[in-house]
């Protein structure tokens, strides 16, 4: 049965854009948590952010690295100069995935009512992460998404939609 969220009529780039909006919200939530450490933290928010870091973030990186980036690399013109940018963004994904699972573990403890082992260190990690990740999404929104909307053909978009759908089948 076709997934209505990834129907052929929808533009899969809009799904990527929604993921960016969600991840920016996640960064804002991380900032609120960091500001409230060690005692004024919203435990529900901690649990939500932990889940976002463990599931939504790696899934989104997967969508970009297996779907969007290769299609864009193949379709971009030499003057777009996109290869280096995509390489750098992919390198950031890999370090952010590692960092995210470490932070998620600490936030899960908080979400379950525990206290952070080292609140200062957690605050430092949260701030490092959301500051860097906001920049990451900013560059993707400024450079990658407009170029993708310009260069990807209908066929590319269908391939991307199929890939996003496939990535979600593995998760569920
Ligand atoms: Fe990315
Ligand atoms: Fe992204």
- Ligand 1 ion local residues (Cβ < 5 A): 64
Phi, psi of 12 (to 5 degrees): -60, -20
Q: 1.10.10.10, 1.20.120.520, 3.40.50.10470, 3.90.1150.10: which CATH number matches 11-171?
A: 1.20.120.520
| pTM of the predicted protein model | 0.91
As given in the structure block, the two tokens for residue 16 are: 């990527």
pLDDT tens-digit map of 7-63: 455 799 999 999 999 999 999 999 999 999 999 999 999 999 999 999 999 999 999
Ligand 1 center from residue 118 Cα (angstroms):
29
36 exposure class (CB count in 10 Å sphere: 0-12, 13-18, 19+): middle
Distance 58 CA to ligand 1 centre (A): 10
* Domain spans in the chain, listed from the N-terminal domain onward: 11-171
Task: Name the nearest CA neighbour of 148 among 90, 62, 64, 60.
Answer: 64
pLDDT band at 116 (very low <50, low <70, confident <90, very high): confident
């Amino acid at each position: 049965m076709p997934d209505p969220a990834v129907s052929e009529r929808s533009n899969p780039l809009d799904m990527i854009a929604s993921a960016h909006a969600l991840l920016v919200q996640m960064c804002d939530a991380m900032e609120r948590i960091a500001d409230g450490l060690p005692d004024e933290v919203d435990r529900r928010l901690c649990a939500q952010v932990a889940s976002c870091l463990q599931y939504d973030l790696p899934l989104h990186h997967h969508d970009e690295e297996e779907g969007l980036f290769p299609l864009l690399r193949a379709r971009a013109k030499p003057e777009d100069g996109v290869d280096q940018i995509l390489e750098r963004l992919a390198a950031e994904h890999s370090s952010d995935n590692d960092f995210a699972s470490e932070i998620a573990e600490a936030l899960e403890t908080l979400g379950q009512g525990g206290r952070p082992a080292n609140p200062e260190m957690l605050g430092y990690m949260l701030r490092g992460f959301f500051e860097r990740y906001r920049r990451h999404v900013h560059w993707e929104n400024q450079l990658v998404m407009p170029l993708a909307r310009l260069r990807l053909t209908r066929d590319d978009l269908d391939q991307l939609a199929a890939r996003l759908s496939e990535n979600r089948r593995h998760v569920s």
